[in-house]
């Protein structure tokens, strides 16, 4: 497979963001100084414990009734909201954007047909004020809001949407997320260059305010796909004029709640309220500043000093999570991502299903999540995370050393005798190493097998992973949209994200059947069976469920925990009277649930 | 040999050196596993092919090398693979002033503080002042900046709330990174100055100066310092190149948008064009500064001749 063919399903997993959670480094530009982090961490933990004791310096405000706050709580000057964007985005051209920071910027600047509800992520009317579904779920007709404009005053038309979506599909655009539009009639063939005429693609703009999308077959989660940043509209005339430099401040034209006023690479983005946005009346922020910060300790320091008001999930060192639980700033919740070990089934002994089962049942997930990671993650024995509307996970893999030993004996290695030495591939990160060492010890203890740890730098790690020249490799996936398909479709034979060499025709058939099933409950039941099969036969050793862990200053309103860690910032505001209001209810330390402020 | 001929000869030597560096870097970065268009999330084959075509990576390596050399001569390294809206040249020329400013202040501080400390230590050799100065210098050399930086942030930003903990905005944001970066240089320059001065102070011409009745301060400042500082001068050339090309550690701790962060990240990202651009730029900068230092040498020490 290599990283060869495109997936037939509109499903790709956004993985790298998850890596960042563990690598403690914002995506991509991940500089990690191996010696710097532990030291700085120790210093900062000392600080978090010492310098922030209640009552000191009047900086941490405590009251009998309200929660404690971490560091400075002085209000930002005016209606400005300042936050960390993580690493420098590669590009924030919506059609080309890849990573989480890219998407965050694109979502601030552009608005799609629908927009996400800030709490549930359900589609709300955006540039389209209503839409209809017809032709047995295969045709969506979107009606654009009258009078909507680009930031340069041109009207936003259905033709803009059609052009933008076709641009994503054009082979010469080389959009990495073009598969999000694959459900559209002929989209995939057009993207591959097999269909040359864009009129054969199922996208129509019969008039300026009507955008019609024809799907090859019904896709229950299509509106979630349309919400993804790849499907945001872009201004044709500036792209045709400036090429790939159209996104620079000064030339960029947007249709969202904000415009880009300043950008300096590796420093910051500044956004100003877009007065031409249709809902400008409900945008209360005048300005936003997104700092590109690739060092997590630095981000944490800036948050404490009150230079940034929001530290999104994964942008401060996970070692500090236990110390932050007592503060009102800390907000956490489930996040649609799973950390797991992938097994390359291309060679013995890993091609033996009993070996895979033995390895799987000999992992004590509870010890890793609750002891090693101090409860900052949830032990998880499934591939699909929790919380997909209507989906019930099959029983997850349990820690059962006795059964694990039986499995290994069935595989022909009783007590681990004659088992060749295998290795765990990780990319460089303190946390990955700690987890790998814990699992190495578990496999040694429970199964009596020798395991080495193979550490590679990110680029080499990806190469090894893709070429399948590994035994066991650390991986993680984050869901792109609220449907189990975003996880399960990866393990279809030959999918570019499979990366294990595993192939099972029964599994492929289930995923195919589910895609054709019109009844939502039956469809999810098929997917549940598929997950059960994958867990019992497949190349996956699930370890833990991701959580979001963010820090929000007490005066910031309108940021909520969401399952995909997506945060529409349009309705965020600064509460200048926050101290006069009743203190928001703090999350109980370590307790479940989320802050909703 | 005239100064002009000397410069011309050195510049002629720089060119083949740069060529060797360019060639080595080119083949090393291409030999590193993985490539610029690799991600944990699979890139569709069609998109990947298109990207490879766009950047000419589908061509044979030798042809890519030829094209790279031809463009490099014109200082054109093409667009960054990672940040496609930007040219490598733009990135370098945007980040260089930041690193140069940070490095410039740090070096200035290092010289202004390090040289007097070294002179005092040499003049009062084996006194308490000498021990104190050299003890401090030893500490300064020994404490790495990835320890010093966070400690300064902890004390001055997060406990006393006097200075911003990071970011490159406004004059007060310069203080901590400059202090962090300069400490090791202060210490090293102090030690070099002391050593140089001690040697010079024993020389005959210093005795002559004293014998003809000059005051000790004049002897030290006018006669001894001029030669005693030579080790510092030869150190400052490469040090300036290094310090101005950005310190990855200090730039990361303080989130300074300088060159150091780009260089390391570009290598991790396999951003071939950015790596090559930065490496060649750094090499030229280093050799250029060394040339300047050699010229300065002849002005300070009449015994040194251009060769």
Q: What is the mean pLDDT of chain A?
A: 84
| Count of structural domains within chain A | 3
A351, pLDDT greater than 60: yes
* CA distance between the termini of chain B: 7
Instruction: Annotate A193-250 with DSSP letters as a single string.
Output: TS---GGGSSEEEEETTEEEEEBSS--TTHHHHHHSGGGS---HHHHHHHGGGTTSTT
In this prediction, residue A583 carries a pLDDT of: 52
| End position of a domain, from candidates A522, A545, A568 | A545
- What's the rounded Cα separation, in Å, for the pair A263 and B195? 48
Q: Are residues A126 and A22 in the same domain?
A: no
Measured between beta carbons, the chain B residues lying within 8 angstroms of A307 are: 164-167
- Residue B258 and residue B16 in contact, taking contact as beta carbons nearer than 8 Å: no
Q: Are residues A171 and A51 in the same domain?
A: no
Residues B36-47 as b or e (16 or more Cβ within 10 Å = b): bbbbbbbbbebb
> Which band of pLDDT confidence, cut at 50, 70 and 90, is reported for residue A57?
very low
Residues of chain B above pLDDT 90, percent: 8
Measured between beta carbons, the chain A residues lying within 8 angstroms of B146 are: 33, 35-36, 39-40
Q: B146: distance to nearest CA of chain A, Å?
A: 6
Q: Let me know the angle formed at the C-alpha of B82 by B77 and B88, rounded to the nearest 5 degrees.
A: 25
Closest Cα in chain B to A8: B44
- Residue B221 and residue A259 in contact, taking contact as beta carbons nearer than 8 Å: no
Kindly give the pairing relationship between strand A123-125 and strand A378-379.
Answer: unpaired
CB nearest to A301's CB, from B34, B51, B165: B165
| pLDDT, average across residues B28-45 | 79
Q: Could you tell me if residue A82 is inside a domain?
A: no
Q: Are residues A350 and A481 in the same domain?
A: yes
Q: Are residues A153 and A203 in the same domain?
A: yes
Q: Could you tell me if residue A318 is inside a domain?
A: no
In this prediction, residue A205 carries a pLDDT of: 94
> Which band of pLDDT confidence, cut at 50, 70 and 90, is reported for residue A230?
very high
In this prediction, residue A51 carries a pLDDT of: 37
A340, pLDDT greater than 90: yes
In this prediction, residue A175 carries a pLDDT of: 87
Compare A508 and B170 and report the one with higher pLDDT: A508
Q: What is the CATH number of the domain that holds B211?
A: 1.10.3720.10
pLDDT for B92-139, tens place per residue?
888 888 988 999 999 999 999 989 888 888 888 888 888 988 888 888
Q: Could you tell me if residue A565 is inside a domain?
A: no
- What's the rounded Cα separation, in Å, for the pair A220 and A523? 10
Instruction: Annotate A433-444 with DSSP letters as a single string.
Output: HHHHHHHHHHHH
Find the domain containing A53 and state its range: 1-57
For B:76-105, CB contacts with A below 8 A are 79, 82-86, 91, 94-95
> Which band of pLDDT confidence, cut at 50, 70 and 90, is reported for residue A582?
low
Q: A247: distance to nearest CA of chain B, Å?
A: 8
Closest Cα in chain A to B252: A295
Residue A136, judged by CB atoms within 10 A of its CB (0-12, 13-18, 19+), counts as exposed
| pLDDT, average across residues A550-578 | 89
Looking at residue A368, what DSSP letter applies? I
| pLDDT, average across residues B161-173 | 86
> Which band of pLDDT confidence, cut at 50, 70 and 90, is reported for residue A384?
very high
In this prediction, residue B158 carries a pLDDT of: 86
| Count of structural domains within chain B | 1
Measured between beta carbons, the chain A residues lying within 8 angstroms of B165 are: 298, 301-302, 304-305, 307
- Residue A290 and residue A86 in contact, taking contact as beta carbons nearer than 8 Å: no
- Residue B181 and residue B103 in contact, taking contact as beta carbons nearer than 8 Å: yes
How many helices (DSSP H) and strands (DSSP E) are in chain A? Answer: 17, 19
Tell me the pTM. 0.82
Are B39 and A57 within 8 A, CB to CB? Answer: no
Find the domain containing B85 and state its range: 1-307
- What's the rounded Cα separation, in Å, for the pair B178 and B105? 6
Are A91 and B84 within 8 A, CB to CB? Answer: yes
> Which band of pLDDT confidence, cut at 50, 70 and 90, is reported for residue A10?
very low
Q: What is the CATH number of the domain that holds A124?
A: 3.90.76.10
A581, pLDDT greater than 80: no
A30, pLDDT greater than 50: no
Are A178 and B44 within 8 A, CB to CB? Answer: yes
Residues of chain A above pLDDT 70, percent: 86
B156, pLDDT greater than 90: no
> Which band of pLDDT confidence, cut at 50, 70 and 90, is reported for residue A41?
very low
B306, pLDDT greater than 70: no
For B:210-269, CB contacts with A below 8 A are 248-249, 252-255, 257-258, 261-262, 264-265, 268-269
- Residue B188 and residue B235 in contact, taking contact as beta carbons nearer than 8 Å: yes
Looking at residue A328, what DSSP letter applies? T
Are B41 and A174 within 8 A, CB to CB? Answer: no
CB nearest to B54's CB, from A4, A174, A175: A174
Judged by a CB distance cut-off of 8 A, whether residue B131 touches chain A is no
Q: Which of A6-20, A172-186, A269-283, A411-425 has the lowest mean pLDDT?
A: A6-20
Are A91 and B85 within 8 A, CB to CB? Answer: yes
Closest of A359, A414, A317 to residue A36, by C-alpha? A317
- What's the rounded Cα separation, in Å, for the pair A166 and A113? 15
Helical packing angle, B88-123 and B259-269, nearest 10°: 130
Q: Are residues A394 and A460 in the same domain?
A: yes
- What's the rounded Cα separation, in Å, for the pair A105 and A93? 9
| End position of a domain, from candidates A503, A529, A545 | A545
Compare A157 and B70 and report the one with higher pLDDT: A157
pLDDT for A157-212, tens place per residue?
999 999 999 999 998 888 888 888 989 999 989 988 899 999 999 999 999 999 99
| pLDDT, average across residues A280-297 | 91
Closest Cα in chain B to A52: B159
> Which band of pLDDT confidence, cut at 50, 70 and 90, is reported for residue A65?
low
Backbone phi and psi for residue B230, each to the nearest 5 degrees, phi listed first: -55, -45
Q: Could you tell me if residue A560 is inside a domain?
A: no
Closest Cα in chain B to A4: B45
| pLDDT, average across residues B67-78 | 85
In this prediction, residue B307 carries a pLDDT of: 57
Closest of A414, A410, A436, A422 to residue A357, by C-alpha? A410
CB nearest to B33's CB, from A12, A295, A463: A463
In this prediction, residue B87 carries a pLDDT of: 87
Q: What is the CATH number of the domain that holds A458?
A: 3.10.105.10
| pLDDT, average across residues A78-97 | 90
In this prediction, residue A45 carries a pLDDT of: 44
CB nearest to B38's CB, from A265, A463, A475: A463
Q: Could you tell me if residue A399 is inside a domain?
A: yes
Closest of A271, A258, A285, A242 to residue A151, by C-alpha? A258
Residues of chain A above pLDDT 90, percent: 55
Measured between beta carbons, the chain B residues lying within 8 angstroms of A475 are: 40
Query: What is the three-class DSSP state of A1?
Result: coil
Instruction: Annotate chain B with DSSP letters as a single string.
Output: --HHHHHHHHHHHHHHHHHHHHHHHHHHHHHSSS-TT--SSPPPHHHHHHHHHHTTTTS-HHHHHHHHHHHHHTT---B-SSSTTSBHHHHHHHHHHHHHHHHHHHHHHHHHHHHHHHHHHHHTTTSHHHHHHHHHHHHHHHS-HHHHHHHHIIIIIIIS--S-SS-S-STHHHHHHHHHHHHHHHHHHHHHHHHHHHHHHTSHHHHHHHHTT--HHHIIIIIIHHHHTHHHHHHHHHHHHHHHT--HHHHHHTT--SHHHHHHHHHHHT-HHHHHHHHHHHHHHHHHHHHHHHHHHHHH-TT----
In this prediction, residue A279 carries a pLDDT of: 92
């Amino acid at each position: 497979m290599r990283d060869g063919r495109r997936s037939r399903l509109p499903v790709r997993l956004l993985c790298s963001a998850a890596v960042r959670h563990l690598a403690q480094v914002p995506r991509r530009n991940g500089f990690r100084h191996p010696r710097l982090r532990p030291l700085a961490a120790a210093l900062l933990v000392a600080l978090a414990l010492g310098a922030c004791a209640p009552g000191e310096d009047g900086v941490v405000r405590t009251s009998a009734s309200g929660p404690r706050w971490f560091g400075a709580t002085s209000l930002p000057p005016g209606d400005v909201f300042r936050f960390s964007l993580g690493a420098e985005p590669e590009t924030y051209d919506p059609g080309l954007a890849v990573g989480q920071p890219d998407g965050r910027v694109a979502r601030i600047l552009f608005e799609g047909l629908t927009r996400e509800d800030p709490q549930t992520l359900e589609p709300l009317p955006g540039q389209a004020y209503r839409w209809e579904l017809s032709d047995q779920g295969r045709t969506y007709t979107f009606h654009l809001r009258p009078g909507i404009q680009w930031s340069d005053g041109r009207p936003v038309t259905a033709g803009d949407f059609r052009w933008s979506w076709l641009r994503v599909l054009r082979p010469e655009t080389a959009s990495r997320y073009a598969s999000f539009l694959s459900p559209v009639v002929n989209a995939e063939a057009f993207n591959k260059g097999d269909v040359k005429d864009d009129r054969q693609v199922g996208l129509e703009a019969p008039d300026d305010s009507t955008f019609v999308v024809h799907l090859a077959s019904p896709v229950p989660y299509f509106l979630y796909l349309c919400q993804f940043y790849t499907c945001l509209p872009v201004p044709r005339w500036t792209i045709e004029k400036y090429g790939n430099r159209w996104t620079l401040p000064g030339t960029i034209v947007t249709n969202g709640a904000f415009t880009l006023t300043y950008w300096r690479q590796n420093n910051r983005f500044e956004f100003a309220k877009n007065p031409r946005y249709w809902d400008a009346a409900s945008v209360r922020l005048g300005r936003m500043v997104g700092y590109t910060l690739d060092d997590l300790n630095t981000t944490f320091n800036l948050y404490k000093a009150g230079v940034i008001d929001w530290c999104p999930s994964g942008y401060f060192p996970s070692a500090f999570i236990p110390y932050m639980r007592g503060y009102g700033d800390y907000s956490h919740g489930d996040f649609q991502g799973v950390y797991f070990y992938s097994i390359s089934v291309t060679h013995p002994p890993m091609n033996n299903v009993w070996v895979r089962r033995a390895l799987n049942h000999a992992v004590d997930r509870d010890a890793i999540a609750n002891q090693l990671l101090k409860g900052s993650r949830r032990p998880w024995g499934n591939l699909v995370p929790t919380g997909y509307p209507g989906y019930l996970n099959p029983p997850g893999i349990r820690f059962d050393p006795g059964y694990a030993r039986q499995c290994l004996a069935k595989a022909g290695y009783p007590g681990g005798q004659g088992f060749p030495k295998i290795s765990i591939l990780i990319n460089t990160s303190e946390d990955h190493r700690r987890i790998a060492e814990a699992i190495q010890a578990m496999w040694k203890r429970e199964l009596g097998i020798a395991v080495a740890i193979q550490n590679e730098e990110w680029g080499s790690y990806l190469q090894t992973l893709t070429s399948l020249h590994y035994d066991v490799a650390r991986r993680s996936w984050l869901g792109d949209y609220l449907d189990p398909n975003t996880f399960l479709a990866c393990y279809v034979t030959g999918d570019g994200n499979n990366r294990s060499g595993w192939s099972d025709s029964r599994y492929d058939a289930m995923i195919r059947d589910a895609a054709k099933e019109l009844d939502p409950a039956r469809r999810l039941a098929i997917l549940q069976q598929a997950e059960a099969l994958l867990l019992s036969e497949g190349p996956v050793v699930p370890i833990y469920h991701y959580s979001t862990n963010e820090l929000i200053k007490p005066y910031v309103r309108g940021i909520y925990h969401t399952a995909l860690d997506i945060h529409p910032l349009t309705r965020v505001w600064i509460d200048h009277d926050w101290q006069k209001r009743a203190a928001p209810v703090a999350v109980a330390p370590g307790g479940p649930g989320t802050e909703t402020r | 040999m005239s100064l002009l001929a000397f410069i011309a000869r050195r510049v002629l030597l720089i060119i083949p050196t740069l060529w060797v560096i360019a060639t080595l870097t080119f083949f090393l970065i291409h030999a590193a596993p993985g490539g610029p268009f690799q991600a944990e999330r699979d890139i569709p084959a069609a998109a990947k092919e298109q990207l490879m075509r766009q950047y000419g990576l589908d061509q044979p390596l030798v042809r890519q090398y030829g094209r790279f050399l031809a463009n490099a001569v014109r200082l054109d390294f093409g667009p960054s693979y990672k940040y496609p809206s930007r040219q490598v040249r733009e990135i370098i020329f945007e980040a260089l002033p930041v690193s140069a400013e940070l490095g410039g202040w740090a070096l200035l501080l290092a010289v202004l503080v390090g040289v007097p400390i070294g002179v005092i230590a040499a003049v009062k050799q084996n006194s308490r002042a000498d021990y104190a100065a050299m003890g401090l210098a030893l500490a300064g050399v020994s404490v790495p900046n990835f320890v010093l930086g966070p400690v300064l942030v902890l004390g001055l930003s997060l406990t006393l709330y006097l200075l911003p903990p990071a970011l490159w905005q406004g004059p007060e944001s310069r203080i901590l990174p400059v202090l962090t970066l300069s400490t090791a240089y202060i210490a090293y320059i102090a030690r070099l100055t002391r050593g140089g001065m001690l040697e010079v102070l024993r020389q005959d011409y210093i005795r002559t100066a004293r014998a003809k009745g000059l005051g000790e301060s004049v002897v030290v400042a006018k006669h001894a310092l001029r030669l005693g500082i030579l080790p510092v001068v030869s150190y400052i050339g490469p040090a300036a190149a290094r310090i101005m090309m950005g310190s990855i550690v200090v730039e990361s701790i303080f989130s300074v948008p300088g060159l150091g962060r780009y260089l390391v990240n570009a290598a991790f990202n396999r951003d071939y064009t950015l790596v090559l651009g930065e490496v060649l730029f750094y090499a030229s900068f280093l050799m250029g500064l060394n040339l300047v230092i050699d010229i300065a040498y002849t002005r300070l020490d009449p015994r040194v001749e251009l060769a």
